Structure 1
Amino acid sequence: MNGSLPRRRVLRAVAAVTAAGLLGLAAACGAGSTGEASDELVYWSMWKAGEPQAKVLESAIGSFTEETGVKVKVEWKGRDVAKQLAPTLNTRNVPADLVDSADRFVKSTFFATGQGLDLSPVYDLEIPGESGKKVGDVIAAKYREYATTEGRAWLVPYEVLAEQIWYDGGTLQDVAAAPPKTWDDFVSLLAARKAARGDGPLALDADIADYSAFWTYHAVLRDLGPGAFGAAATDTTGAKFDDPAFVAAVQKIEKLVKDGYFVKGYDGSKYPAVQQKWAAGGADFLLLGTFAPSETKPSAKEGFQYRSFPFPAGARGEQTQEISLIGFAIPARARNAEAAKKFIAYFMNRERLSKIATEADNITPRTDVEAPAMLADVKKTLDTARTHPALDGVKMDHTDWYTKVFQPANTELITGKVSAAEFVAKLKSTSVDFWKLNG
């Protein structure tokens, strides 16, 4: 046998190299983001079949196919959709062209890894049926800025979430007339309601670490301002936890626990027992996201009037509003990216997007879509207050620190197992250890 390969094997090798090169080029260009038309796309969604948002999207998918001829194969994957897709993103066989998920999952899965398309061009697309309006024209600027990092748009949002303190406006008419604006006003209200009820007025399912985190984070936010929590979380020396203002903010939460302002049984609850109890009239106030009304409606007492107010102002005297977003992303190697972009622009049409409010009881990023009546208080705040990422973006950008360092310690604080001083000391030491290993 001589040193040369048989001609057929050479041709096969050349063909393989050529094919690989073409595949690499397609991947680099976004494989479908090159302007080529497509008559199909695969869409993976965070919703389960039958959920309100899924029904809204399914309706839009049907009319989209009817009007454009583009077939959409949708798979209702549930909340872990980004995790399911992540292992495939750097392969030649990315199974989805379009994904929707919560901002933190999109940013960490697509933007942080470089595996998502820059969606800036989508904001420049005209919305079908809206006489020349572009996607970027109808989404409030603050939401577009939120979803853009280093000049790259990594999300096109269609739903806005925000945390506020919820109550029954029919029962607490005095609160509806004049919601507490300062921490001192809030604590005075809690004292009065505890005396009237004979039990703590604050509802909390403490087995959900996120829900417990809302209390401590908001206290820090109000006293130190947006960005302070994130700065402490990423301080490799732990020095920022020594700030007396940080400790003082945490002591407010410690006092809520010690003074019995959380309803009995909150520390041993099994979600959603306590929030259902609240909706039935068993507690007065619930700090939770804009999903609270839709989640608790089945348990709500007759005539329950959903009202809310922002977490009260602290030492800084301001009430900023934290937000998070749910929206669309496109994998960098999507085969049918152009069709995916086309669907996003189609769905952002006012008539179609408004169903997220009217049928799914949530707030949209379009300022011209009225919020559901039960979320009117939140919408009013969003339209007027300064907004910032939920939990200072820590949950989104530093997930491991948030889940492995902050949440366990905070659950101990909120359930009365440790004092504020012990909590802060533990947070400092475990953060220093964490960053030594992960810095």
Structure 2
Amino acid sequence: MSMGSTGEGLGRRDLIKRSAALGLITVPTMSFLSACASGGEENSTKGPAKAPVTKENPFGVAKGGKLDVVVFKGGFGDDYAKAWEAAFDKKWGTTSSHLGTQEITAKLQPRFNAGNPPDVVDDSGAQQIKLDVLAKGDQLADLTAVLDSPSLDDPTKKVRDTLVEGAYEQGLQGGKFVVLKYVYAVFGFWYSGKLFKEKGWAPPKTWDEFLAVCAKAKEAGIGGLAHQGKFPYYINVVIMDLIAKKGGLDAMKAIDNLEPNAFEGNPAALAAVEAVYEVVEKGLLMPGTNGLTHTESQTAWNQYKAAFIPSGSWLENEQLKQTPEDFDMKFLPMPLLADSKLPFEAIRAGVDEPFIVPEKAANKAAGFEFLRSMLSREWSTIFAQQANSLTVVKDGVDPSVKLRPGTQSAVEALKAAGGNTFSYRYPDWYSEMDTEIQNASNELMAQRIQPKEWIKRAQAAVDKAAKDPNAKNNKRA
């Protein structure tokens, strides 16, 4: 699929997409990169005259200016952004233009190339313009000033002090904070509380218990594990979580830091891939799941055709229309392999949904102020109400807002995890490596390769990424 084309799966909420673009688009050519780096300077429009900088207006937003906002209209919809824009226009006297689309690359690549990008972009989904590509092309504004500005909720605090752990680190590209990942999501398995209660199944805490529930499901004529076959991003959640939990944080960091033994010579990695392959070999997958899109497999799961499905916590909002009223959606941390270094309660909890202010935005001051407003409790609560998801603002949801079962379950899992949360960085730092590992997982699930070949391909992807000159700026301690 070319960068400008459309395809199946665009309604998804890509996270710790979101982290990824799901391997649907090719890496942009050098012509795009050079256009990013140099093109369009002369076409760049000057923004409105800046107003005086004050504590209340730290970026000097001019009254009566224009604000151009483009958001990915996926699992979260775009009603939240429309509500934000109305609030912003009311406060600042601006006139907002709004575009909600799934075709981020097709709509925005020409604008970036011409030097007239929007002021705020939610750069997400299957047609995301890869963040590492934009960063290398000097297309992203440094957002450090937003972090250092006064919080709208408590002006004695800086915005950065009101955010969850990881919000800063996961916004870095080459050592610069250029991406505000806004949604705080948890990743793991999901199941129906109603189905498990009816069948008398206990939520599994170990991989052996997980396989046992899958086997009982098969006996009952139900698939054990459904996965979003056409988008191997999701089965990678399972594989990579198993690696982190069995091998500990060092095993995860070895992958992010592109170590020569990140996969080869890492017993936790082989054990994780073999565990997932066992589900395939034992016939415990939901029949046909390898050929389905994310929404097709998730809908089959909503129809009680499978016991488990892997996803991030955007799943509930994405499946609102397909989920039976009494389904009772529940989150499950990844069950443990034998001799795991992290406890069962440990979960991948990461920030996603990347918002950016382009370096050549016409109204950069308003773009910065818009992001500062997003990091207020008022706007965070609007998002929770409209999108059934949590944000990176600590305690950012008004407690009077009632949450849906899946979201509530995710909140409880985060509480139980405490400090035992982890998150990979490689999908954002090395998008090509991420795609190559996803492709290997696709082959594995179709039984076209064995676990040892998966390890070999994953390590080759790491070794290739290690040659990236920018890799030296991306080290994790």
In which range does the TM-score fall when normalised by the shorter chain?
A: 0.7 to 0.9
Aligned residue number for residue 20 of structure 1: none
Is 1:99 matched with 2:130?
no
Aligned residue number for residue 406 of structure 1: 437
Give the TM-score of the pair, scaled to structure 2.
Answer: 0.74
Aligned CA distance change for structure 1 residues 228 and 48 (closer, same or farther; 3 Å): same
Aligned residue number for residue 207 of structure 2: 183
Q: Report the Cα offset of residue 57 of structure 1.
A: 1.4
Alignment partners' CA distance in 1, 2:380 and 2:162:
11
Aligned residue number for residue 3 of structure 1: none
SS at match of 1:64: helix
Is 1:158 matched with 2:182?
yes
Aligned residue number for residue 387 of structure 1: 421
Aligned CA distance change for structure 1 residues 331 and 424 (closer, same or farther; 3 Å): same
Aligned residue number for residue 47 of structure 1: 72
Would the aligned equivalents of 2:182 and 2:392 in 1 still touch at CA under 8 Å? yes
Alignment partners' CA distance in 2, 1:173 and 1:427:
39
Q: Report the Cα offset of residue 246 of structure 1.
A: 2.3
AA partner of residue 98 (structure 1): V
Cα distance per residue 1:278-327 (max 9 Å; x no partner) = 10111111111112112223222341101111111332243232423124
Is 1:194 matched with 2:207?
no
Aligned residue number for residue 285 of structure 1: 308
- Picking from 421, 429, 433, the partner of 1:397 is 429
Q: Report the Cα offset of residue 130 of structure 1.
A: 5.7
Alignment partners' CA distance in 2, 1:297 and 1:323:
22
Is 1:312 matched with 2:335?
yes
The equivalences for 1:32-431 within 5 A come to 36-38=60-62, 39-48=64-73, 53-78=77-102, 80-81=104-105, 85=108, 89=112, 93-102=115-124, 107-128=131-152, 134-148=158-172, 152-173=176-197, 179-195=203-219, 197-226=220-249, 228=251, 231-232=254-255, 235=258, 240-314=263-337, 315-318=340-343, 319-368=346-395, 369=397, 372-383=404-415, 384-389=418-423, 392-403=424-435, 405-428=436-459
Aligned CA distance change for structure 1 residues 266 and 354 (closer, same or farther; 3 Å): same
Alignment partners' CA distance in 1, 2:93 and 2:460:
59
Alignment partners' CA distance in 1, 2:349 and 2:250:
11
Alignment partners' CA distance in 2, 1:154 and 1:65:
25
Which stretch shows the higher mean deviation, 294-303 or 356-365?
A: 294-303
User: What number of residue pairs does the alignment pair up?
Assistant: 409
Aligned CA distance change for structure 1 residues 244 and 48 (closer, same or farther; 3 Å): closer
Which stretch shows the higher mean deviation, 252-261 or 51-60?
A: 51-60
Aligned CA distance change for structure 1 residues 87 and 242 (closer, same or farther; 3 Å): farther
SS at match of 2:443: helix
Q: Report the Cα offset of residue 42 of structure 1.
A: 3.5
Aligned CA distance change for structure 1 residues 175 and 316 (closer, same or farther; 3 Å): farther
Would the aligned equivalents of 1:101 and 1:328 in 2 still touch at CA under 8 Å? yes
Would the aligned equivalents of 2:188 and 2:238 in 1 still touch at CA under 8 Å? no
Structure with a larger share of its residues in helix: 1
AA partner of residue 348 (structure 2): Q
Alignment partners' CA distance in 1, 2:81 and 2:461:
43
Would the aligned equivalents of 2:223 and 2:305 in 1 still touch at CA under 8 Å? no
AA partner of residue 188 (structure 1): A
Cα distance per residue 1:56-80 (max 9 Å; x no partner) = 1112211221222122222324352
Gaps of 5+ in 1: 1-22
Q: Report the Cα offset of residue 248 of structure 1.
A: 2.1
- RMSD over aligned CA atoms reads 3.7
Give the TM-score of the pair, scaled to structure 1.
Answer: 0.79
Alignment partners' CA distance in 2, 1:257 and 1:268:
14
SS at match of 2:228: coil
AA partner of residue 306 (structure 1): M
Aligned CA distance change for structure 1 residues 37 and 80 (closer, same or farther; 3 Å): closer
Would the aligned equivalents of 1:233 and 1:401 in 2 still touch at CA under 8 Å? no
Which stretch shows the higher mean deviation, 358-367 or 145-154?
A: 145-154
Q: Report the Cα offset of residue 399 of structure 1.
A: 0.9
Alignment partners' CA distance in 1, 2:200 and 2:414:
18
Would the aligned equivalents of 2:313 and 2:406 in 1 still touch at CA under 8 Å? no
AA partner of residue 45 (structure 1): V
The sequence identity of aligned pairs, in percent, is 21
Cα distance per residue 1:178-226 (max 9 Å; x no partner) = 632222332233333333x234321123122212322222222222234
Would the aligned equivalents of 2:258 and 2:465 in 1 still touch at CA under 8 Å? no
Alignment partners' CA distance in 2, 1:128 and 1:416:
53
Gaps of 5+ in 2: 1-40, 54-58, 472-477
AA partner of residue 160 (structure 2): G
Alignment partners' CA distance in 2, 1:198 and 1:177:
15
Aligned CA distance change for structure 1 residues 206 and 87 (closer, same or farther; 3 Å): same
Q: Report the Cα offset of residue 276 of structure 1.
A: 0.8
Q: Report the Cα offset of residue 127 of structure 1.
A: 4.6
Aligned CA distance change for structure 1 residues 435 and 64 (closer, same or farther; 3 Å): closer
Alignment partners' CA distance in 2, 1:110 and 1:72:
24
Alignment partners' CA distance in 2, 1:120 and 1:207:
37
Cα distance per residue 1:160-190 (max 9 Å; x no partner) = 2332211111221399996322223322333
Aligned CA distance change for structure 1 residues 53 and 301 (closer, same or farther; 3 Å): closer
